[in-house]
Structure 1
Amino acid sequence: MHKDLKNVSILYVEDDDFLREHTQDLLKKIFKEVFVAKDGKDGVYVYNEHLNQVDAIITDINMPEISGIQMAKIIRKIQEKSNKNSPIIALSAYNIEDYSFQELKDNFAHYLRKPIQVKDLVINVNKALKGELEDFI
């Protein structure tokens, strides 16, 4: 599984500085390239800058200014225009029931509850890249 992901570039969006830096270091050992953003607004900017390189997006949901859900909606519109479809994996400290089922289903390939295990994250990115979507029920 790790060898396949050595050819994959991701965008990682997380507003918590410590968590972002720690997780970024781990992700760099797994993926070809890791683009990093500090919040949803920065995530949209970084995605636009590296549109043709980003294979998947991993994002926190609860962030200041633009949430992960809002960011995902904006990125989905960009993807429609560019004919690019990078799956988005949501991360949150909250239960899945705390969000709108329809918004999660419409915008994310998978949902993981924090604290995450890198192994689980890798498995879910791999599934999302293969087109295997979470059921969200």
Structure 2
Amino acid sequence: MNDRTEIYKGEELLNCVKRSLPGCTFEEKLPDYVPPVILHTGALKWLSVAVELLAEIGSSAECHRLHVHYADDRDRSDCRLVISMETSVSANRRPLAVDHTWADRMGQAEHELIAHSVALKYFFEQDALYCNFEFPVFGRNATKLRHRNSILLVEDDNFVRNSTREILEGEGYRVLTAERAESGLDQFSRASKEVGLVITDLTMPGPDGFTLAKAIRLQDKRVPILFISGFGAVVPEDPAMQTYFLAKPYSARLLMAAIGRCFRGYHELNLLHAFEQEPHVPTVWL
């Protein structure tokens, strides 16, 4: 087996699944950002083979549901990206599941995926087929990022602060809130190892958002900072400095898109640092 490793964009894994199911429609539930994964050479080929075999059991006319999430096992040191697929199984195709030829082919695909560091789990329940593909996330800081799943929100307007907090909590984040820059800095100092993103208003009574950002940078040079403002101000985004901007008023969709940019920039910045420590790992941006 060729044990050469490559880095693939997370989006390419989703595209690989979709290309293996031509003519199908999809319902998707994706996180803000799908990070790169590190795989052995040839993993995408066997991913396609496995999906095609699973599609033989399902009905090509049905809508396939794709759900992407993270798996953090406290007993393991790695963080895994999980692509879950659900599809309906028509009555006339169910016997394929016990067909020896199909089972042998699936067994080979499963064996090859495991050899390429990808776990495959699938099972039947009533009239549906469920399967999970688990991929190791690239980067030494990947697990640490997922554990830093709190967002610090600093906003003096009660309505904006409460509505934004509700949106973020609805997306599964733990939210720390503050009305002023001083209390926001105090919150960050006490929970810096948990905070993966800072969202701060630009204009507040007392020190403004820029002052808060400078103080936070003295403690953490990489945590993404998202500035929000409703006074017509526009702050140029600078991924290298991990600073981003969102104008008020904003919808839940625009807020989550901005957060996606923040996490994307964070991952890409950490990839650069990871390459400095692991320069032998080639990159494949497909």
Matching of residues 16-31 of structure 1 within 5 Å? 16-31=157-172
What is the CA–CA distance in structure 2 between the aligned matches of 1:4 and 1:95, rounded to whole Å? 36
Shift of 1:62: 0.2
| Structure 1 unaligned residues grouped into runs of 5+ | 133-137
How far 1:30 moved relative to its partner?
1.1
Residue 32 of structure 1 and its aligned partner are, at CA, apart by 2.5
Residue identity in the other structure for 1:116: Y
Deviation at 1:4? 5.3
Deviation of residue 118 (structure 1)?
A: 1.6
Higher relative contact order (CA 8 A, sep 6+): 1
TM-score, normalisation: structure 2: 0.39
Contact kept, 8 Å, 1:12 with 1:37, in 2: the verdict is yes
Q: Which residue of 28, 33, 39 corresponds with 2:174?
A: 33
State whether residues 13 and 43 of structure 1, in contact with CA within 8 Å, keep that contact through their aligned partners in structure 2: yes
Structure 2 distance, partners of 1:118, 1:44, is 25
Aligned partner of 1:93 among 221, 227, 230: 230
Q: What residue ranges of structure 2 are gaps of 5+ in the alignment? A: 1-29, 32-67, 71-145, 267-286
Could you tell me how far apart the structure 2 residues matched to 1:25 and 1:129 are?
20
Name the CA distance, whole Å, in 2 between partners of 1:87 and 1:24. Answer: 17
1:16-60 Cα distance to aligned partner (Å, 9 max, x none):
112212221221111331111111111101111110000011111
Report SS of the residue matched to 1:79: coil
Partner of 1:127: 261
Greater strand content: 2
Aligned-pair distance for 1:9? 1.7
TM-score normalized by structure 1?
0.78
Which of these residues, 195, 218, 238, is aligned with residue 54 of structure 1?
A: 195
How many residues were matched structurally?
Answer: 123
In 1, Cα distance between the equivalents of 2:69 and 2:260?
8
Q: Which has the higher helix share?
A: 1
Structure whose alpha-carbon radius of gyration is higher: 2
Q: By how many angstroms is 1:107 displaced?
A: 6.2
User: For the residues of structure 2 that align with 1:57 and 1:67, how far apart are their CA atoms?
Assistant: 14
Please state whether the residue corresponding to 1:96 is helix, strand or coil. coil
Rounded to whole Å, the distance in 2 between the matches of 1:131 and 1:61 is 21
Kindly report the root-mean-square deviation, in angstroms, between the aligned alpha carbons of the 2 structures: 2.3
